[in-house]
């Protein structure tokens, strides 16, 4: 697991979850986060992506609650645009847990504890992966390209699916919260099975007449 700085800026968003080893492109336009990008450019270039909890709208300009587990990303690319915005690309490094937040900057800063993604035994991982692939094969919008890449390691495969599948932000967060890749596979299967059941029930409903 890569070493993370003990204190990093937080970039809380309502609809974005970053996973380790995944790439994320962001358009940074708010003044406080433009300042954040400028501040980390000459240093460790690490930004902590966190998901805002429901109800954030009333205090977005302040410090609305976020989920305690996020993913730190290294800023691999940064393009300063003429209007002051930044176009950045983050590469997920590792998950973290927020230990304590600090004031002093227009953006949020926090002490963090790095979290390791455990794997699980190989036989269980292989079995869970096959179940995930079977569930995706039944979905019309499944990312077939990923499924056809058996050379991908289990962690890259699971995290790529978590970031690329059509999931809600809270579903993505529930995957990021998992402490092992095997647990992440299991949670992903639960989500896919529920979506399949939901779709089947929706197709079987009688149309209402008003």
pTM of the model: 0.88
Q: What is the pLDDT of residue 16?
A: 95
More confident residue, 95 or 120: 95
Distance separating alpha carbons of residues 172 and 179, to the nearest angstrom: 14
Average pLDDT for residues 105-122, to the nearest whole number?
94
Average pLDDT for residues 196-204, to the nearest whole number?
69
Q: Is the dihedral of CA 132, 135, 137, 139 positive or negative?
A: negative
Q: Phi, psi at residue 203, to the nearest 5°? A: -70, -25
Q: What is the pLDDT of residue 201?
A: 75
Domains within the chain, CATH numbers bracketed? 7-115 (2.30.130.40), 122-204 (no CATH)
Q: Quick one: pLDDT band at residue 141, thresholds 50, 70, 90?
A: low
Alpha carbon 148 to chain centroid, angstroms: 23
Distance separating alpha carbons of residues 134 and 85, to the nearest angstrom: 42
Average pLDDT for residues 160-175, to the nearest whole number?
94
Instruction: Render pLDDT for 2-39 as a digit per residue (tens, 0 to 9).
Output: 789 999 999 999 999 999 999 999 999 999 999 999 99
Give the chain's largest Cα–Cα span. 63
């Amino acid at each position: 697991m890569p070493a993370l700085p003990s204190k990093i800026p937080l970039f809380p968003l309502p609809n974005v979850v970053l996973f380790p080893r995944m790439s994320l492109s962001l358009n940074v336009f708010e003044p406080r986060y433009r300042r954040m990008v400028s501040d980390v450019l000459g240093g460790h270039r690490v930004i902590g992506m966190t998901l805002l909890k429901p109800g954030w709208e009333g205090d977005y300009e302040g410090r609305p609650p976020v989920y305690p587990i996020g993913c730190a990303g290294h800023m691999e690319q940064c393009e300063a645009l003429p209007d002051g915005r930044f176009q950045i690309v983050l590469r997920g490094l590792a998950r973290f847990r927020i230990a304590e937040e600090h004031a002093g900057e227009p953006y949020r800063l926090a002490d963090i504890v790095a979290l390791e993604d455990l794997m699980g035994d190989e036989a269980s991982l292989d079995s869970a992966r096959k179940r995930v692939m079977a569930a995706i094969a039944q979905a019309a919008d499944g990312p077939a390209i990923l499924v056809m890449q058996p050379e991908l390691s289990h962690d890259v495969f699971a995290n790529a699916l978590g970031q690329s599948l059509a999931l809600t932000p809270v579903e993505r967060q529930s995957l990021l919260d998992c402490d092992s890749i095997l647990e992440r596979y299991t949670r992903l299967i639960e989500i896919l099975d529920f979506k399949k059941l939901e779709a089947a029930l929706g197709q079987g409903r009688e149309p209402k007449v008003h």
